Structure 1
Amino acid sequence: MQHMFATSFAGQEKPPALMMRRLRRRQEALVGRPRGRLFLAVLPDAETSARIAQTARHLRISHGLAGKPLPPENFHVALCRIDEGVDLSLGRIESVKERVARIVMPSFAVGFDRAESFRNGALVLRGEDGVMGLDILQQRLSDVLDGRPGTARPFTPHVTLLRDAHLVPEQRIEPIEWTVRELVLMHSMIGRMAPRQLARWSLGEG
């Protein structure tokens, strides 16, 4: 798998230590020391993100929801949660990068054709046959991160649109599809800032 870093760090061999120090200082400065999350995800392209945003607005209006939709640039499908805590370890990131680089998988199409609310209030996009590639990628990532092959892990591929106390029953939507060409390592401070891209890997040509 071809590896690259977020655009602002392209061509460098590893994330600058300065970026890591700034992230840690930002975390420590936040009131209440919120918990951070390190995870692997795939992102829709800009055109698809705009379509997802339009779908989110339509569902919000048609169901009378008060929850604010996520910004288009925040839409993603989380595949594997790696760490959760206050500190962001550069050593841990390097270990994850080394393991993820072992994955061999071509680019693939993904499609979501329904919307529904989870019990926690998250209104999401879901799919069946259209998300099989995500199932495969998540299993391969879990295997390399665990260090050994394992049985299928519980996984429900989805894109979160917004959160609201009113739960929306499952319904069909106009399919939203795109080609997954990259895997992204992301870090977020829960409830405080948008996820940051720490590294990217290009999938092979399908």
Structure 2
Amino acid sequence: MTLRRPFDDSDELVLHRLFFALIPSAEAVEEIARVRGGLGVAKSHVLDHRLHMTLWALDLPMTPTPGIIDDLCAAAAKVSAPALRLVLREAVGNGQVACLKPGEPMPVLKAFQQKLQLAIADAGIWPNRGFRFDPHVTLAYGQDEGFRREVLPISWRAGEFVLIHSLVGLTEHVPLGRWALGA
């Protein structure tokens, strides 16, 4: 099934995105929201329930088949790792997107992401062409100017990762699976 955007005068197709992500804790979401609130005017802000850190992404022109979802879930189930401590220390904007970033390397997070990506590749599925893991949480789109500034560290313990089906442009995220990370 192919969806179209809900505008009467548009033939633009809805893009389907499958992505693995880490979701901030409720406490971290509150802190992230405070930073987002201080950004000023933007075309759109990411709502609290859609805040996440993308680990891997695949865009599809039509609704994903059950087969690809099953394969992604099976690959994710093969990945074991300890819970992750994530710390975001800087707000960065480039005039198009504003986000929070760690501000320093996070080798344990990078190792986990590579482990997940390899498990998915073993299933014969590759991410979007040009996908490069760049740890961040997107806050807003469409600001007029760029910036980079330190923020009080925002930290949370990621005890699971999730597979989400996003209808890009319709701001809809549908969780498809969750996998626990060890203690």
Bin the TM-score by the shorter chain: 0.7 to 0.9
Cα separation, partners in 2 of 1:55 and 1:175, compared to 1, 3 Å? same
Q: Please tell me whether the aligned partners of residues 110 and 133 of structure 1 are also in contact (alpha carbons under 8 angstroms).
A: no
Give the structure 1 partner of residue 115 of structure 2: 140
What is the aligned residue count?
A: 171
Q: TM-score, normalised by structure 1?
A: 0.76
Of 115, 119, 122, which residue of structure 1 is paired with 2:97?
A: 122
Amino acid in the other structure paired with 2:111? I
Closer, same or farther in 2 for the Cα pair 1:29/1:167, shift >3 Å? closer
Alignment partners' CA distance in 1, 2:71 and 2:136? 27
Q: Percent identity at matched positions?
A: 26
TM-score (norm 2): 0.85
Rate the CA distance shift 1:154–1:71 in 2: closer, same or farther, 3 A: closer
Given the superposition, is the C-alpha separation of residues 87 and 100 from structure 1 closer, same or farther in structure 2, using an over 3 Å criterion?
Answer: same
1:137 CA displacement? 1.6
CA distance in 2, matches of 1:79, 1:196: 16
Q: Which runs of 5+ in 2 are unaligned?
A: 7-11, 124-130
User: Do the aligned partners of 1:43 and 1:76 also contact (CA within 8 Å) in 2?
Assistant: yes
3-state secondary structure, aligned to 2:43: coil
The aligned counterpart of 2:9 is: none
Once the two structures are superposed, the pairs formed by residues 76-155 of structure 1 within 5 Å of their partners are 76-118=52-94, 121-129=96-104, 131-147=106-122, 154-155=132-133
Q: Report deviation, 1:138.
A: 1.2
Match of 2:166 among 188, 196, 201: 188
Does the residue aligned with 1:37 lie in a helix, a strand or coil?
A: strand
Question: CA–CA distance in 2 between the matches of 1:29 and 1:69?
Answer: 23
Amino acid at match of 2:46: L
Distance 1:190 1:83 in 2: 9
Is the CA contact 2:90–2:103 (under 8 Å) kept in the aligned structure 1? no
Contact 1:126 1:157 in 2 (8 A): yes
Residues 110-148 of structure 1: per-residue CA shift (max 9 Å, x gap): 0000011146x1100011446433212211111111129
1:204 maps to 182
Check the 8 A contact 1:111/1:130 in 2, yes or no: no
Shift of the 176–164 alpha-carbon distance from structure 1 to 2, 3 Å rule, reads: same
Residue of structure 2 equivalent to 1:74: 50
Structure 1 portions without partners, runs of 5+: 1-23
Distance in 2 (alpha carbons) for counterparts of 1:158 and 1:168? 16
State the 1:83 CA deviation. Answer: 4.0
SS at match of 1:59: coil
Answer with 107-116 or 162-171: which moved more: 162-171
The answer to whether the Cα contact below 8 Å between 1:112 and 1:131 also exists between their aligned partners in 2 is: no
C-alpha spacing 1:67/1:193, structure 2 compared with 1 (3 Å): closer
